[in-house]
Every structure is written in C-alpha cells, then in structure tokens.
C-alpha cells in the first residue's frame, strides 16, 4: 500500500497482504506444479549466457535455435533479457502474442520446428522502456516457463542478459537442469567478465557445455586477408585453463548483422560461408555432449 505521508503510513492498518499468506503459498504451489509440468515436456534446456554485453550472445542464441530447428529438432527460444530484448527483432516478430483458451501465452511460430517468446512481443510499443525491479523480473521468467504453451520440445534455448544478476539466477533456480553455453569475444576485456560467468556457473552448480568464441576474425573484402578485430584465441585458452570444452570459434560476418536486422537468422539461409560452417561445428560439438 502506498501512503500520501509518513503520518498516514504510521496510522495504517498494517500490510494489506497480511493474512494472505495461505493464498500466496497456494498460488506458488500451483505455479511450481505448472513449471514442473512444462519442463517435463522439454528434453534439453540450453542457457546461453555471458558476463559481458556486446559479445553477440543473442545472435548466437537465435542462430543456435534456428540451426537446431532446421535439423528437425522441435525448438523453443525464450528471451529473458528484460531491459534489452533483441530476439524479437532478430526473428522478425512484430505482433503481440496471443492467448490460448486455457489462458496460456501462445509462442510465435517462426517455422515448422521453431517457436519464440520474448518480453518485447508483449509490449505495444517496442521502444518502451521496461523499468522493473528484481521481483517483477523473477515473476516474468517463471511465467515464461509456467504460462507459455511450449508443448513437447527437443530443445529450449534461453537467451539471458549479460551479467550474473536476477535473470540468470532465476533461470538457474527455475530450470535447475539447464545446461550453460558461455559466449565471449577473444579480447581480455571480455574474457575477464567471462571468467566471472564461469565462477557463477560453478557457484550455482550450473553444468556448462562449454565456451563459444564469437567475432573471432574478419576476412577483408578487398584483399581477403584475415583481420583479428578483437585479438584471437582467447576463448580457447580460457576454456583450457578453466577445464571447460571449447565449442568453437565463429568469425565476424557482416551478413550476420544484416540477417539480424532483417529478422531472418543466417542459419535459416541456405548459404555456405565460413560463418555457417563454423557455426555448424559449434552446434555439432554441443550435440555431442547431450
């Protein structure tokens, strides 16, 4: 309850939620049961995370989901980056999500095997800032599992915001069987934050499939010589030093930028490039561990 003044607050009759503990516990139990039922229909949950923004984590998430779905796997993609959601843009989602007859959110169907949910696809104005504190973000993530009609899936890819705060922690607590994929770029500034992500995974006992090194190199369009925009090899060195699997190195490709802006992940396109071949190898290395 919000009061107009301190005096009114002092005279107030206590917290309006007092006495509602039993109702809250019942709702919580019902939601926990819905989460368990939903997760029970999903074989593999892959949590894509990074300690640093700007490393292309959402691009990796979108193309990983696209690649798996193209291989014939029933795939869901869940964007839990509350303050900077980009999955809707990358997958060309412009409409608000519908609600089923049993009051569940219906994910946006992108292809025969891929469906997506993003907080942005719940907003009328895509440029509207979402100003939420921790409890609201926690509730949203739990609802994205319990109140979305995911159905039977082979994979659920979860794209989280950078860092080790509310959203990643809530994902781990809500989906304890999730498997982590850590995304980095090769330079030390990024790797320093990635080591924090590795520490986070160890602390919360999140099993990690390995590290993906993104934007590892760029081939000059004029002389065709490779250019290491963000250094090189740092992801593999970090994986080895931390005892983790190195899933692969992905080159920088301007076509990936264009595909994200156009709403069609490059892994949906039938183009054989250095990027797509490197990404295929990353996907294969993930599948080998499952």
Contacts of 84 (CB under 8 A, 6+ apart): 53, 161
DSSP sequence for 83-123 = SS--HHHHTT--SPPEE-TTS-EEPEEEETTEEEEEGGGG-
Structure tokens at 197: 């992500």
Structure tokens at 40: 């029970």
CB-count burial class (<10 Å; 0-12, 13-18, 19+) for 30: exposed
Nearest to 31 by CA among 147, 175, 113, 123: 147
Q: Are 265 and 63 in contact (CB under 8 A)?
A: yes
Q: What is the DSSP letter of 266?
A: G
pLDDT digit string, tens, across residues 133-171: 778 888 888 888 888 999 999 999 999 888 878 888 999
CB-count burial class (<10 Å; 0-12, 13-18, 19+) for 285: middle
Residue environment code for 219-243, b if the CB has 16+ CB neighbours within 10 A, otherwise e: eeeeeeeeeeebbbebbbebbeebe
Highest mean pLDDT among 20-29, 49-58, 174-183, 222-231: 174-183
Res 230: pLDDT: 65
**Which residues face 218 on adjacent strands?**
227
For residue 264, CA distances in Å to 90, 260, 268 come to 6, 6, 7
Q: Which of 26-40, 49-63, 201-215, 227-241 has the lowest mean pLDDT?
A: 227-241
Rounded Cα distance between 233 and 249, Å, is 8
Structure tokens at 123: 């907003």
Mean pLDDT of 51-67: 90
pLDDT digit string, tens, across residues 209-256: 999 999 887 676 777 777 766 667 778 888 999 999 999 999 988 888
Please give the residue that has the higher pLDDT: either 160 or 189.
Answer: 160
Rounded Cα distance between 199 and 75, Å, is 28
């Amino acid at each position: 309850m919000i009061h107009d003044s301190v005096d009114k607050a002092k005279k107030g009759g206590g917290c309006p939620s007092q006495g509602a503990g039993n109702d809250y516990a019942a709702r919580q139990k019902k939601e926990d049961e819905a989460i368990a039922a939903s997760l029970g229909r999903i074989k593999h949950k892959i949590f894509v995370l990074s300690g640093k923004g700007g490393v292309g984590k959402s691009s990796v998430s979108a193309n990983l989901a696209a690649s798996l779905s193209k291989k014939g796997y029933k795939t869901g993609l869940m964007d839990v980056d509350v303050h900077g959601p980009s999955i809707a843009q990358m997958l060309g989602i412009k409409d608000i999500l519908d609600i089923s007859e049993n009051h569940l959110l219906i994910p946006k169907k992108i292809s025969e095997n891929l469906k997506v949910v993003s907080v942005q696809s719940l907003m009328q104005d895509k440029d509207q800032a979402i100003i939420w504190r921790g409890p609201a973000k926690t509730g949203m993530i739990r609802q994205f599992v319990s109140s979305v009609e995911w159905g039977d899936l082979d994979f659920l890819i979860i794209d989280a915001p950078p860092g080790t705060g509310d959203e990643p922690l809530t994902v781990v607590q809500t989906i304890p069987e999730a498997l982590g994929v850590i995304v980095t770029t090769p330079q030390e500034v990024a790797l320093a934050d990635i080591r924090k992500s590795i520490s986070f995974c160890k602390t919360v006992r999140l099993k990690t499939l390995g590290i993906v090194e993104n934007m590892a190199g760029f081939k000059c369009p004029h002389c065709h010589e490779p250019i290491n925009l963000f250094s090189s090899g740092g992801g593999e060195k970090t994986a080895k030093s931390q005892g983790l699997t190195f899933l692969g190195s992905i080159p920088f490709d301007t076509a990936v930028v264009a595909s994200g802006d156009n709403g069609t992940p490059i892994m949906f396109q039938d183009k054989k490039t250095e990027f797509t071949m490197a990404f295929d190898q990353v996907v294969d290395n993930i599948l080998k561990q499952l």
